[in-house]
Amino acid sequence: MDKTINITLKVWRQKGPKEKGHFETYNLQNISTNMSFLEMLDTLNEQLVAKHEEPVVFDHDCREGICGMCSLYINGHPHGRDSHTTTCQLHMRRFKDGETITIEPWRSAGFPVVRDLMVDRSAYDKIMQAGGYTSIRCGAAQDANALPIPKPDADEAMDAASCIGCGACAAACKNGSAMLFVSAKVSQLALLPQGRVEAARRAKAMVAKMDELGFGNCTNTGACEAECPKGVSIANIARLNREYLKAKLKD
């Protein structure tokens, strides 16, 4: 049965990176509990446009929990309070009638605000460009399938590869660390024979780029794993540290 609720939104509004931001309050009536969180924001923007007001800027793309674009801080949690859920997968049935919902952009030095709820997450792209790939010839698909890989290693690599690069880990971390993201991207290749060839170069290059872009250090509080919408394990951070130390010792 389709139920409706009335909610109050406290939305962060900021015209640009150098502008001072503030919270704006909006009241929405008769919001269907079957709506996704982003559909609710679409409804808000439709009402704002109808009143000739500036719509709220927010990032989105696939709306299927895959792309990681829907980066919103909702009631103090990246992607909301539901675990293993992206903002686009969060539905209004998770909120109560009359509830006040606070919506903010990522709070991290590595992700400067572009406008309102949209941040610049290109820092993660730069980290990937620094070494999150293989540049050697690995053959075609049938060659990869011919390489014997222990199932536990293959499973761990796939779990690490589930990272969607949304930035929730850095936004949740008190130090603004991107270690969970970097470690996931290092692990997904370090566990496979195709990635081992460049493992040392990759770990050094990606960590160096992360530091250069102003992300903080990891102090293992575990907030990144707790808030990660894909449940990426902090065990990957330990693997990254091992890969990095081995690479530096070789130097």
Q: What is the residue range of 215's domain? A: 122-250
Q: Are residues 134 and 105 in the same domain?
A: no
pLDDT of residue 140: 83
Q: Are residues 84 and 146 in the same domain?
A: no
If pLDDT is split at 50, 70 and 90, which confidence band does 138 have? Answer: confident
- In this prediction, what percent of the chain has a pLDDT beyond 90? 90
When pLDDT is averaged across residues 132-151 and rounded to a whole number, the result is: 85
Q: Are residues 126 and 111 in the same domain?
A: no
Place of tokens 């969970």: 180
Q: Is the pLDDT of residue 1 over 70?
A: no
CATH number at residue 243: 1.10.1060.10
Q: Are residues 153 and 38 in the same domain?
A: no
| Average of per-residue pLDDT values in the chain | 95
When pLDDT is averaged across residues 10-27 and rounded to a whole number, the result is: 96
Q: Which tens digit of pLDDT belongs to each residue from 62-116?
A: 999 999 999 999 999 999 999 999 999 999 999 999 999 999 999 998 999 999 9
Show which of 115, 134, 166 is a domain's final residue.
115
How far apart are alpha carbons 182 and 107 in whole angstroms? Answer: 19
pLDDT of residue 2: 78
Start-to-end Cα distance in the chain? 64
Q: Are residues 145 and 242 in the same domain?
A: yes
Q: Are residues 149 and 239 in the same domain?
A: yes
CATH number at residue 56: 3.10.20.30
How large is the C-alpha radius of gyration of the chain?
20
Show which of 57, 86, 115 is a domain's final residue.
115
Q: Are residues 111 and 131 in the same domain?
A: no
Q: How many CB atoms within 10 Å of residue 199?
A: 18
Are the CB atoms for 56 and 45 separated by under 8 Å? yes
Q: Are residues 109 and 130 in the same domain?
A: no
Q: Are residues 52 and 170 in the same domain?
A: no
Q: Are residues 43 and 27 in the same domain?
A: yes
Task: Return phi, psi of residue 159, to 5°.
Answer: -65, -40
Q: Structurally, how many domains does the chain consist of? A: 2
Show which of 91, 115, 139 is a domain's final residue.
115
If pLDDT is split at 50, 70 and 90, which confidence band does 143 have? Answer: confident
When pLDDT is averaged across residues 178-186 and rounded to a whole number, the result is: 97
Chain centroid, CA 56 distance in Å = 20
pTM of the model: 0.93
For residue 83 the two structure tokens come to 């675990």
Q: Is the pLDDT of residue 144 over 80?
A: no
Q: Are residues 241 and 180 in the same domain?
A: yes
Q: Are residues 139 and 184 in the same domain?
A: yes
Place of tokens 């709506």: 35
When pLDDT is averaged across residues 181-197 and rounded to a whole number, the result is: 94
Q: Which tens digit of pLDDT belongs to each residue from 45-59?
A: 999 999 999 999 999
